[in-house]
Structure 1
């Protein structure tokens, strides 16, 4: 019955998704354009070729003329060589007239060939109505405008003397208004009016064209005027208020055709076919055609025009959404509201996927843009998975069933008290701290335990002699071991401890040298190991010095999220992460897993994963039974996280075969928890750093060279990931960690500050082997001379400069550039968070006493805002 209800929720989410698509479907009903077009720009070349350097062929020209002939009476060419000299002859076969172009540029030899060919063709073919010498020649040479006008007039006059048809040149409208001498030299004005390039909104495009036409008529009465180019791109980036689009293109062109025909205006529409090679004209350059590159019409000239490819995009979006929704059925005891949130998320990812696929199918790509698009989509896949996983976690804790596997405190005395051997590895630890740990062990409310203290590679007698003496003082249950030539880091010490463990000990307890344990630790948790299938019982880490400074408080709150959110969630799938303190291990399970391993520098997590792979069960409790010391400063905090992340990559390399079908006894839920954990932590940070660096490289190309920026379909997931991450922190820290808003914000800041550290560790983990175990300095330490967030400051500053540069250079107000600017700003936040914490750590504002003084002063001022201050009487 539950699956039926979940299926109904999934179907409802899909139905609502479909309704949104239909509701957002645009449709326009512009005036019908009856009859054939007066003229269209005609550049017949294979879409896979470059029209600037490649010649067209007779077969291509014939094919293109056949496609366009039913729609127009005339074709306008832009050149008379490189194969275009065949156009007049072939056009005549289809009953088409020709406005012949002669291309003029800085190559005088080529210009001569164009002019000679145009003259010869005009004399040979009767279907040539006029010749246009040069296309926006003056516009392209505005730096030398006077000389360009003079030279062009000479060429025009030369052609006029040689042919019997009207001769002109084609220019944008302000060139004609600025140069009456050019008007005098031509037989008619061939004006280009392209509102898109002027940044005008589509609604004003046709009115603008008509106003320019009237303005030219008033300036040059009696002169024949032809609108030689008018059009609108179907895709590309916006320019100010001009937004390309297929529906907008249809609406503008059909409106223009109707009004031009009614006013008797001669015109030529740019252009017949999309030209994928016109990337030099910016993002919209390839998309001005009435037909796409496959020679298919983009819209009908009569009736309603609707959003293209709606059915295809809808089916793609729904199919992906429904496919992703199947995972909901695998969640034990899923609640309906929880299922609704997850189904909506799946449908959202489906919509984004359909948008990416549609962008790929509806745009033209050169090799570089293909690589950029594919690479961008691949890099974004981890971010999309992260979004889904974090929303899944939000839904689970907010709307899902309460955790069922958490161990709780026990009231009754245990029926059996097996011997527990507690191992305390220590390496160059302060004696006072370690004595405090051993004293807490001595107070455990458990009658049957031993404690083995292993001090390894610590030759300084001042560090180990007081501990040896203290063990003698605490009694026979405390065993002291020292080994100065021990290999294998912490795992080596724990193996040595196991060798010295009493034969009858059934359970091994492990605590770090800085941990003070609660007397009830063993009494409450050892009974859970009575189940012979249980190999591990884990209690959370906590810290007793989190109230010393602001930075330690936010570090501690960041740790708490993992233990009160992530570990609780993983425990429900028997997939907790073992951390090498506050854990109890069945001795039999430890031997079955092959003992502590030094293959990685995270021997604890390595052992825990091995236990799960071999089918052992693990339990977790949220109750705090031990309190250690936080890293001494931000540098130590980063060093510790680097070790964990580097060790995480070692685990992936060591255990990946266990995640293959039949590779181990891991359940699908356990595999999911570990894989998603690695993706949301290791991959997220590494990909985040990589995308930030790639955007820094890309930014100058966008800001200074005008190269098209990554489209919003590739940029928006970056923003969505940040928003979901922030929501995840703020909601779950309030509900699960019970942290106030300030603490939740601090935890988010602290987590973000580690992005570069984790990203670097992931890269090193895959390219370097055998980095040594680095002990984390605990308690109160001295700051290093080196600023601990130096590289974060560099990257963060560059991203901020890049964001500002994009904003200041975006004079065309391109939406994607604005989004790009915001993305770079958001990407700078993790790096600047590290800078902020490093600066705060060295500031008086890091002390709670400073804030208390500031608060008391502000209260004092609020109570006595005006007038003389009261005298303080000392008694």
Structure 2
């Protein structure tokens, strides 16, 4: 905890700069608070004005105002508290308001002796709200009224307030004023804070020499603490940044300069004015020495503190993280100390980032549009944190756990007379007969005495595909039975339920193999003995694996992208009996399968759904990480996209159906750890779905920033920076785990990462389809064909191409309009580039899949074959970069 406070203190500490002492010449003062605005007719109360003046009295006894009709209580209160006032009259294109301001201002002048000057209008010429002649008319009128009503020695001088260059450009205006009120704000001209002070003095001197007979009052001089980067108006490489450090450097420098003691000036300004963002842009809200809540942003001496709220933020972050850190320290006793410190550090970092997001409405003045964007960013942060912590937990368990408590290995074979009877079910649909026959032949070679094989071909209309399989089964003897179902409901689950009804009464165990798998002879002999350990063992699962992928870089990408789950995620889940069952190389206790009602035909991922139902009843599932069979990889990118869409769709079907039990709202035997795995196992895919939402939102926001920059402000660095860091950190976990747990080349790790990221859009579509559709369609995963045609290449990635082009175009236009000087622009462009990565990866996957060496052997020989069905787990955690 002490270390956490020190880190907060370190990040809040700024540079040491020379301090100043003594009274300030004056403040430009506008009294509106955070939730008040003249546009919304929400005005400060007299009590709030009195509080402001009490605060300012510690620094000065002079203020400069901008109007009289909005908050007239300023003037009697200022007189009561001993302030002299340079009174502003707001004149503009609104003639009715201008008349009212002049009338009420002259009335106040009669009642209050502390009004030392009059300022008619503020930057009205700069805003082009009136001509020089019109302004001169107002000035002459006010001066004339004052001459009529006041004796010569009591007449307050009159002027208008404009930047230095407006006075130089309109010298005729000087004849209508008693003094010059000038605004010297080098920030607006893109002058760096290092050079700004001398620049301001030089402009002042230029005015003094041009108009030597007129007194000069500096009506505004200061620097904003937040805002956009301002490019130099002269077109040079110089630019001005709006930061706390720059503001302190300029204001302290001005006050400490010996020349300032001889000047009449007002620091711009006393208090931040959030409402100004609508008329002045982002920086307009942050010119105050105090924030809108009347908290001092920076002192005039001592060390600069960049975040005055760092202590309360640190306390809140520690409090939020305390309980989970305590549980990690004492509940993960099987981890070594380094692993526990690793996860505790992630929790504390996540809490700190969350606190930063929660405090943003205090640290920044956000418009309604900004608040909408902030909600999205905080939601993105929460999801990123959830995914990061779940991956961090998996990462820590794999790398720092002393040993697995539930690590199952192949057993020694049982004598034939003790071997339980096994019924192996193989469902196929429109499969190449030679591929299915290869699978059947591998089953015929099983080194096991008591088994049968039931092959069910459902809904295949082409006899050339299923007849050869039927004929081949007939040659293998009575233990191989073939069934052809011309029209059968329920997809693969329907075929497996049919096979269950045909199963030999002696069968105690059901085995399921996909139609493209070549199985090792010792599969049953080495795994069936696990069922004899306990009647509660319902599932014994071996990993999926691939063959014939080495010749093709794309198929190596597919293979190694799968491998992450079986080498990492399955061990992680197996440790708490929360296994993801997948539909091949799986063995199921028949009694348990029949107890839960067989395979669910409503779900297109019936394998995972079955495993969850068994675990909900308290059954045990086991994972034996030994390859006993190998199948074929998807043939191209379109094929694996089809497969992953099905998994994501099925995962959402499962989640919707089982959510009450997962949340403990309905009775089940799920424990906390199992609920955790089956809920967080889908976090990564929800992250992909949210990525699509945020990509679309980012495009919309970028368009808003381009066309309506004052309504759509840029995101703040304090939240965008951690989000970017979390994304990068999370992305790095996958390759590190791969390198530590699997013996493969970095090129294969890179390929797996690209494929995993490139599938994000497809997963997102599958998630949304599964959430909002009731029924899914079982789509086959092609293993040996490729689409043909001139535009076939673009078909599978047309959506990704469109999103990629839109994001890149938006980033390019934003850079062209705003430049890359501003940190906030850089961060937003960085976010856009991160949003584009999955779509770029998808295009890259399609390119790689189309390279000549990636064509399947059948295609290279111009022997097209039909697609194959492949079932694999859903709810995968531990795969690359999901």
Query: 1:827 corresponds to which residue?
Result: 835
1:740 is matched with which residue: 742, 745, 748? 745
Call closer, same or farther: CA 1:842–1:63 in 2, change over 3 Å: same
* Deviation of the 1:79 alpha carbon: 1.8
Q: 1:671-710 alignment to 2 at 5 Å?
A: 671-680=675-684, 682-706=685-709, 707-710=712-715
Query: 2:92 corresponds to which residue?
Result: 105
1:370-424 deviation digits (Å, cap 9, x = unpaired): 3332232123211111122223333333333344534334456558311110000
* Stretches of 4+ aligned residues off by more than 6 angstroms: none
* Deviation of the 1:647 alpha carbon: 0.6
Secondary structure at the aligned position of 1:482 is classed as: strand
Which of 1 and 2 has higher RCO (CA within 8 Å, sep 6+)?
A: 2
Whole-angstrom distance in 1 between the partners of 2:786 and 2:297: 69
Alignment partner of 1:760 is 2:768: no
Call closer, same or farther: CA 1:841–1:355 in 2, change over 3 Å: same
Call closer, same or farther: CA 1:41–1:30 in 2, change over 3 Å: same
- Contact 1:423/1:451, CA 8 A, preserved across alignment: yes
1:130-167 deviation digits (Å, cap 9, x = unpaired): 211221122212xx9xx733432333233233323212
Whole-angstrom distance in 1 between the partners of 2:186 and 2:808: 34
Whole-angstrom distance in 2 between the partners of 1:431 and 1:340: 55
Query: 1:91 corresponds to which residue?
Result: 78
1:17-49 deviation digits (Å, cap 9, x = unpaired): 333223334256656554543322222345423
Secondary structure at the aligned position of 2:63 is classed as: strand
Whole-angstrom distance in 2 between the partners of 1:615 and 1:568: 19
Whole-angstrom distance in 2 between the partners of 1:655 and 1:813: 51
Call closer, same or farther: CA 1:627–1:302 in 2, change over 3 Å: closer
* Deviation of the 1:694 alpha carbon: 0.6
Alignment partner of 1:311 is 2:311: yes
Q: 1:164-563 alignment to 2 at 5 Å?
A: 164-239=155-230, 242-246=240-244, 249-250=247-248, 252-259=250-257, 263-280=261-278, 281-301=280-300, 306=305, 307-328=307-328, 329-331=330-332, 333-410=334-411, 416-532=418-534, 533-563=536-566
Whole-angstrom distance in 2 between the partners of 1:171 and 1:414: 101
1:600 is matched with which residue: 585, 588, 603? 603
Call closer, same or farther: CA 1:275–1:826 in 2, change over 3 Å: same
Call closer, same or farther: CA 1:729–1:435 in 2, change over 3 Å: same
Unaligned runs of 5+ in 1: 1-13, 850-875
1:81 is matched with which residue: 51, 69, 83? 69
Q: Please, what is the CA RMSD of the aligned residues?
A: 2.7
Give the TM-score normalised by structure 1: 0.89
Call closer, same or farther: CA 1:270–1:110 in 2, change over 3 Å: same
Whole-angstrom distance in 2 between the partners of 1:400 and 1:202: 53
- Contact 1:133/1:168, CA 8 A, preserved across alignment: yes
Secondary structure at the aligned position of 1:284 is classed as: helix
Whole-angstrom distance in 1 between the partners of 2:519 and 2:419: 18
Give the TM-score normalised by structure 2: 0.89
- Contact 1:272/1:289, CA 8 A, preserved across alignment: yes
Whole-angstrom distance in 1 between the partners of 2:718 and 2:11: 17
Secondary structure at the aligned position of 1:441 is classed as: helix
Query: 1:656 corresponds to which residue?
Result: 659
Secondary structure at the aligned position of 1:544 is classed as: coil
Query: 1:773 corresponds to which residue?
Result: 778
Secondary structure at the aligned position of 2:658 is classed as: helix
Unaligned runs of 5+ in 2: 147-154, 232-238, 858-882
- Contact 1:279/1:286, CA 8 A, preserved across alignment: yes
Whole-angstrom distance in 2 between the partners of 1:812 and 1:228: 32
Secondary structure at the aligned position of 1:769 is classed as: coil
Whole-angstrom distance in 1 between the partners of 2:17 and 2:506: 90
Query: 1:126 corresponds to which residue?
Result: 113
Secondary structure at the aligned position of 2:682 is classed as: helix
* Deviation of the 1:350 alpha carbon: 2.4
- Contact 1:495/1:596, CA 8 A, preserved across alignment: yes
1:647 is matched with which residue: 640, 643, 650? 650
Whole-angstrom distance in 2 between the partners of 1:573 and 1:667: 9
Judge which range, 582-591 or 20-29, deviates more: 20-29
Secondary structure at the aligned position of 2:669 is classed as: coil
Query: 2:732 corresponds to which residue?
Result: 727
* Deviation of the 1:787 alpha carbon: 1.4
Secondary structure at the aligned position of 2:796 is classed as: coil
Aligned residue-pair number:
830
Query: 2:717 corresponds to which residue?
Result: 712
